[in-house]
Amino acid sequence: MKFNVFSRLDYIVQAAGTLVLNVHALNTFKQTIINEEFWLEPYVNYSSFQSLQGEKRLVKFGVTEYTPNLSAFYQATVDNCYEINDFSYITETQVSALDSAVLPYLNPSRYCESDKLYRMAHNMFGHISNPFQQVLTLTNWINKNVQYLSGSTNSQTSAFNTVTEQAGVCRDFAHLGIALCRALTIPARYFTGYAYQLYPADFHACFEAYLNGKWVLFDATGLVPLNGFVKIATGFDAADSAVANIFGDVMFNNMEVNCELAENYFEPFYYREDSFLGITYL
Amino acid sequence: MKFNVFSRLDYIVQAAGTLVLNVHALNTFKQTIINEEFWLEPYVNYSSFQSLQGEKRLVKFGVTEYTPNLSAFYQATVDNCYEINDFSYITETQVSALDSAVLPYLNPSRYCESDKLYRMAHNMFGHISNPFQQVLTLTNWINKNVQYLSGSTNSQTSAFNTVTEQAGVCRDFAHLGIALCRALTIPARYFTGYAYQLYPADFHACFEAYLNGKWVLFDATGLVPLNGFVKIATGFDAADSAVANIFGDVMFNNMEVNCELAENYFEPFYYREDSFLGITYL
Amino acid sequence: MKFNVFSRLDYIVQAAGTLVLNVHALNTFKQTIINEEFWLEPYVNYSSFQSLQGEKRLVKFGVTEYTPNLSAFYQATVDNCYEINDFSYITETQVSALDSAVLPYLNPSRYCESDKLYRMAHNMFGHISNPFQQVLTLTNWINKNVQYLSGSTNSQTSAFNTVTEQAGVCRDFAHLGIALCRALTIPARYFTGYAYQLYPADFHACFEAYLNGKWVLFDATGLVPLNGFVKIATGFDAADSAVANIFGDVMFNNMEVNCELAENYFEPFYYREDSFLGITYL
Amino acid sequence: MKFNVFSRLDYIVQAAGTLVLNVHALNTFKQTIINEEFWLEPYVNYSSFQSLQGEKRLVKFGVTEYTPNLSAFYQATVDNCYEINDFSYITETQVSALDSAVLPYLNPSRYCESDKLYRMAHNMFGHISNPFQQVLTLTNWINKNVQYLSGSTNSQTSAFNTVTEQAGVCRDFAHLGIALCRALTIPARYFTGYAYQLYPADFHACFEAYLNGKWVLFDATGLVPLNGFVKIATGFDAADSAVANIFGDVMFNNMEVNCELAENYFEPFYYREDSFLGITYL
């Protein structure tokens, strides 16, 4: 499914600094970049690179002098690719059978202290035998109990806070989903992307759980259809997958994000409580 | 320099479970495994693998039934390899000049919440212009202020706790060193190994800071000479580099670790406050 | 109902220090001290005092030299006094109608961060209209979900930890009950006492909620009958009502506690899910 | 010294709620209320009361219906009273010699987790033998290291956060001062008041340490002269001494505070590093 995506990030560079941006659509073996353009205004020389395991495409550049209005633009037409599978009959995957590349996604991380949520996760969701249903149930629990409230959290808020404080934004919803999965010994990772039909338009964050050999997407916010994403990156959590990392005397100022359908027809796909159909981005 | 290293880890397997062990000496382009042996008693089939970027060598195996005394043995003769460089004249490396493989070691992680230590690190160590001296000074600060106290912390303790609570074990000392470095925009990572002259013998943890293009070793505990290590692994923090990850109904019971010199002569190397010589394991 | 209570606390005084002990049965207008004795071995001069609002009776003394085995003994025969009331038809008490002496028990305290549990408490228990049932339900939820596990927590553990980590001892169960009540705008306080039929014998902690003008006792541990207490103290939380506060170079060594029935007959009273009978100590 | 003080607090009452306000100047045996007036617009019936130990004067009232603009006004002319004493020759007060009414101010509280700061406080300030100098030194350390930054903290921020995160507002500066004092076994309490020469005008918070039998005022923010306060309240921390506690569906909207000299002459008094003169409000 084709989408036109766009983002503009504005910064005020007070003095020297480095920016590492993570706004490029990912180029996977199935998600196709039909065309794309990235540029900086005013012009700054930058370097592009892909993370070692291909989970993100980054742009890095230094700014050496006062620049009151530095803007980074990205626009692309992307053909995403997903598959929908039936997880009705899956059973728990033993850790000993997991691929070694997946094992690190069982570890706790900065914003996902799964080690502290072990008992809670088992008390609440341990009785569910089908792992897809387990993740869907915990996703619905987050959706029902955590209030989506802009400004209620900050860059230090973690899953351990959110599980009790029960307010946050998409990043917090994702962190809590990841932490609960890992506490249940289900590998899970952070997913950021452009999201169709997200209002107000913004980058979006959700998470993937590793079920029956596939990374299945879940979004505890319920804000968008699950088949309208253009994947930007996956990672351990937002520490690993932030849209921007800023070093030095640079301040974020403003941004604009957009994601539009580049086809005629879109049939939204959501999970349903009575279904075991899960979506995987390829 | 050659060492004979040995470890034995004992577990009580109540029911089914998986263990992932990280006790093998690392096989780098310079650290040489002269011979090694790993075995399980009673016999269990296991698989070995290296992490994707070569930071650790893991053994993974499932146990399917009650096993009251499962022991994992490792013994090896290893020729470690380090170099000592003079960091007298280095200056701060701009983030824009850092290799992309090093960038992730600037991010906060589960046990190293560098994002929360930014102001403190700058207030305490921001005035020091030579980055080697900066890390050495913060390492000495940890050594002087944090009390080495077995049992004072647990598997949930993080650098944010230790910076104020000021008690812990080698793992906590390492986490705090890493977090302070990252807060100062110096890439840093966790280092575990066998350590010569550590009493009582145990696995040891310390940290590496990325200075002038090299990973330089620092040990805030001051317990052992810096040139007596056999490297096992590096990682973001202990979540990423634990000696063992246990899944299922398995309990740690006991352990034995040993590291002996396999040569005739050892001249201990420590940092000195008036010197800029730093050690790098290759 | 009459009980013989006894406690012995042993300390190692390394150098000078002060101890403040809170082991005396409270002398309320209904709980009667038939006889009591407190003494220190070796002899040390001490002073007794009651807290300003009568919630506890304290003993304070300084030790000025090395004393390897200092023991504080207390024994008493106490006639406790409680009433059992029916809370079937009560409704929420408006804060504006609360007595001013009760208002402070709505505030968060060291171990009861009710301000952080507001949304969670309302999501879980906000729909229950009868306040007695609300507190009983949350008490039962704690009992069902928090594992009683000696050594799982320490003197820094608070309700915000326990609500997610879901393990602890009686003190942690009490703190969580208090925090959830306060988050629901129900005044709540810590209660310590000697407890009949507690095995192994120890001081016990539970909590009181202020319902319909009475302080009603709840015990989330479910370990003892609710009518077998001899009240020692009430307070904001354990910071305020510890059995002992130690200052200086003094270490706790050992203790013995006992509570025996001094009558012939005892009919245990517990709450039941289908009943609205609540117990108040006078 | 006479001051005219004024405050106006505006609330939006969505539905029913209760407000407890703490804006009255305290009526101590020396601080004299020459005249005062408190009123609500629109008119609501309220009750006034003093806390049990006289640390604050509160106003409590319920609102039963939607009130888009409820304002609470207070104005008074107050003659404050302080004394300045020389603490050059004081020594540490043994806990055993402390008055029992002062002992609770050694306990940790919601925002002042002194139990977690024990080692840090001793490492940093334990070597100073004169307790006045000890508190002055820690106050200066806070002033130098914690950045005064509006909006950097929220109502959940505690001393344990601030000691490392090193940003906050007056309330956070006070909490950290209190926590460090208590960790050093110096009783300390929260102090709120109207403050002369505070720009922008606001309620102000600082803290008192109990030294040589007197409650001595310290202000780590350094924003105002120490002799320009009209005391409103003291307490364990902000949980205990908030300007307002709101229950129900009520939102803070706006406020105005003022404190003007009602005499001709004011000589500002500040602490100096080379002086042992301390100020006590009576």
Length of chain D: 282
For the residues C223-229, what does the mean pLDDT come to?
97
For C252-267, write each residue's pLDDT tens digit. 999 999 999 999 999 9
Task: Report yes or no: B62 at the A interface, CB cutoff 8 Å.
Answer: yes
C-alpha D89/C-alpha D87 separation (Å) is 6
Residue B28 has pLDDT above 90, yes or no: no
For D253-279, write each residue's pLDDT tens digit. 999 999 999 999 999 999 998 899 999
Label residue A51 by pLDDT band (50, 70, 90): confident
Residue A170, H or E segment: helix A170-183
CB within 8 Å of C149: residues ≥ 6 apart: C167, C168, C169
Using CA atoms, how far residue B167 sits from B146, B188, D50, in Å, is: 5, 21, 43
**Which residue on chain C is closest to A163 by alpha carbon?**
C164
Give the tokens for residue C174. Answer: 């009490």
Identify whether B225 is preceded by a cis peptide bond (ω within 30 of 0).
no
Label residue A36 by pLDDT band (50, 70, 90): very high
Task: Report yes or no: C45 at the D interface, CB cutoff 8 Å.
Answer: no
For the residues C67-89, what does the mean pLDDT come to?
96
Thinking of the domain B2-81+243-261, which architecture would CATH place it in? Sandwich (2.60)
Q: Do A116 and C166 touch (CB under 8 A)?
A: no
Identify all chain A residues contacting B62, using CB atoms and an 8 Å cutoff. Answer: 94-97
For B106-142, write each residue's pLDDT tens digit. 999 999 999 999 999 999 999 999 999 999 999 999 9
Which residues on adjacent β-strands are paired with residue D49?
A: D58
Task: Report yes or no: A48 at the B interface, CB cutoff 8 Å.
Answer: no
The residue whose two tokens read 């609440």 is A124
Label residue B274 by pLDDT band (50, 70, 90): confident
- DSSP assignment of A16-76 equals EEEEEE--SPP--SSSEEEEEEEEEES----EEEE-TTSS-EEEEEEE-S-EEEEEEEEEE
What share of chain D has pLDDT > 90, as a percent? 91
Find out if CATH 1.10.10.10 is the number for domain B82-240+269-281: no
Identify all chain B residues contacting D147, using CB atoms and an 8 Å cutoff. Answer: 119
Comparing CA positions, the residue from C1, A115, D130 lying closest to residue B109 is A115
Label residue C29 by pLDDT band (50, 70, 90): confident
Residue C274 has pLDDT above 90, yes or no: no
pLDDT at position B141 is 97
pLDDT at position D273 is 84
Identify all chain C residues contacting D185, using CB atoms and an 8 Å cutoff. Answer: 247
pLDDT at position A7 is 98
Comparing CA positions, the residue from C86, C179, C207, C181 lying closest to residue C125 is C181
Give the tokens for residue D20. Answer: 């407890």
pLDDT at position C162 is 97
Q: Name the 3-class secondary structure at C99.
A: coil
Identify all chain C residues contacting A165, using CB atoms and an 8 Å cutoff. Answer: 116, 119-120
For C139-148, write each residue's pLDDT tens digit. 999 999 999 9
For A2-34, write each residue's pLDDT tens digit. 999 999 999 999 988 999 999 999 998 899 999
Among C57, C96, C153, C249, pick the best mutation site for testing chain D contact (most D Cβ within 10 A): C96
pLDDT at position B52 is 78
Identify all chain B residues contacting D144, using CB atoms and an 8 Å cutoff. Answer: 123
What share of chain C has pLDDT > 90, as a percent? 91
Among C164, C165, C173, C175, pick the best mutation site for testing chain A contact (most A Cβ within 10 A): C164
Closest approach of B62 to chain A, Cα-based (Å): 5
Q: Name the 3-class secondary structure at B138.
A: helix
Find out if CATH 3.10.620.30 is the number for domain C82-241+267-281: yes
For the residues B229-257, what does the mean pLDDT come to?
95
Residue D53 has pLDDT above 90, yes or no: no
CB within 8 Å of B274: residues ≥ 6 apart: none
C-alpha D120/C-alpha A222 separation (Å) is 45
pLDDT at position A29 is 83
Label residue C170 by pLDDT band (50, 70, 90): very high
Closest approach of B146 to chain A, Cα-based (Å): 23
CB C39 within 8 A of CB C282: no
Give the tokens for residue C5. Answer: 């209570």
Task: Report yes or no: C127 at the A interface, CB cutoff 8 Å.
Answer: no
**Which residue on chain C is closest to D62 by alpha carbon?**
C96
Comparing CA positions, the residue from D208, D231, D206, D232 lying closest to residue D221 is D206
Using CA atoms, how far residue D281 sits from C74, D12, D80, D195, D227, in Å, is: 41, 35, 8, 13, 9
For A85-97, write each residue's pLDDT tens digit. 999 999 988 898 8
Looking at this protein, which amino acid is placed at residue C257? V
Among A142, A144, A162, A164, pick the best mutation site for testing chain C contact (most C Cβ within 10 A): A164
| Nearest CB partner across the interface for A165, out of C119, C147, C167 | C119
Q: Do D120 and B166 touch (CB under 8 A)?
A: yes
pLDDT at position D272 is 92
Which residues on adjacent β-strands are paired with residue A166?
A: none
Q: What angle do helix axes D118-125 and D170-183 make, rounded to 10 degrees?
A: 90
Identify all chain C residues contacting D100, using CB atoms and an 8 Å cutoff. Answer: 49, 51-52, 58, 60
Q: How far is CA B7 from the centre of its chain?
A: 16
Q: Do C95 and D185 touch (CB under 8 A)?
A: no
- Strand-pair category, C167-168 with C147-148: parallel
The CATH number fitting domain A82-239+269-281, selected from 3.40.640.10, 3.90.1150.10, 3.10.620.30, 3.40.367.20: 3.10.620.30
Residue B93 has pLDDT above 90, yes or no: no
Would you list the domain boundaries of chain A? 2-81+243-261, 82-239+269-281
Label residue D84 by pLDDT band (50, 70, 90): very high
CB D185 within 8 A of CB C250: no
pLDDT at position B218 is 98
The residue whose two tokens read 């977690």 is D116
**Which residue on chain A is closest to C115 by alpha carbon?**
A165
Among C61, C109, C237, pick the best mutation site for testing chain D contact (most D Cβ within 10 A): C109
Residue B53 has pLDDT above 90, yes or no: no
Identify all chain C residues contacting D62, using CB atoms and an 8 Å cutoff. Answer: 94-97
Task: Report yes or no: C94 at the D interface, CB cutoff 8 Å.
Answer: yes
For the residues D232-243, what does the mean pLDDT come to?
95
Radius of gyration over every alpha carbon of chain A, rounded to an integer in angstroms: 19
The residue whose two tokens read 């409650």 is D215
For the residues B82-103, what does the mean pLDDT come to?
92
For the residues D124-131, what does the mean pLDDT come to?
96
For the residues B189-208, what does the mean pLDDT come to?
97
Task: Report yes or no: B248 at the A interface, CB cutoff 8 Å.
Answer: yes
Max avg pLDDT among B3-7, C12-16, D16-20: B3-7
Label residue B216 by pLDDT band (50, 70, 90): very high
- Strand-pair category, B188-195 with B203-211: antiparallel
| Nearest CB partner across the interface for C166, out of A119, A147, A160 | A119
Task: Report yes or no: A126 at the B interface, CB cutoff 8 Å.
Answer: no
For D99-116, write each residue's pLDDT tens digit. 989 999 999 999 999 999
pLDDT at position C51 is 86
For the residues C69-83, what does the mean pLDDT come to?
96
For the residues C172-182, what does the mean pLDDT come to?
98
Label residue C93 by pLDDT band (50, 70, 90): confident
Among B49, B58, B107, B241, pick the best mutation site for testing chain A contact (most A Cβ within 10 A): B107
Look over chain D and give the mean of its residue pLDDT values, rounded to a whole number: 95
Query: Given 3-state DSSP classes, what are the helix, strand and coil percentages for chain A, each rounded to the nearest 5?
Result: 20, 40, 40
C-alpha B78/C-alpha C192 separation (Å) is 59
Q: Do D167 and B119 touch (CB under 8 A)?
A: yes
Label residue C114 by pLDDT band (50, 70, 90): very high
Residue A58 has pLDDT above 90, yes or no: yes
| Nearest CB partner across the interface for A185, out of B52, B96, B247 | B247
Using CA atoms, how far residue A278 sits from A138, A142, A177, B262, in Å, is: 15, 18, 16, 56
Task: Report yes or no: D121 at the B interface, CB cutoff 8 Å.
Answer: no
The residue whose two tokens read 């310390």 is B206
Task: Report yes or no: C156 at the D interface, CB cutoff 8 Å.
Answer: yes
pLDDT at position A54 is 83
Identify all chain B residues contacting D116, using CB atoms and an 8 Å cutoff. Answer: 164-165
Which residues on adjacent β-strands are paired with residue A261?
A: A3
What share of chain A has pLDDT > 90, as a percent? 91
CB A279 within 8 A of CB A269: yes
C-alpha C65/C-alpha B248 separation (Å) is 51
CB within 8 Å of C199: residues ≥ 6 apart: none
| Nearest CB partner across the interface for C52, out of D101, D245, D247 | D101
Q: Which residue has the higher pLDDT, A58 or C28?
A: A58
Q: Do C164 and A160 touch (CB under 8 A)?
A: yes
For C1-12, write each residue's pLDDT tens digit. 999 999 999 999
Look over chain B and give the mean of its residue pLDDT values, rounded to a whole number: 95
Q: Which of B257-271, C43-57, C169-183 has the lowest mean pLDDT?
A: C43-57
DSSP secondary-structure letter at B106? G
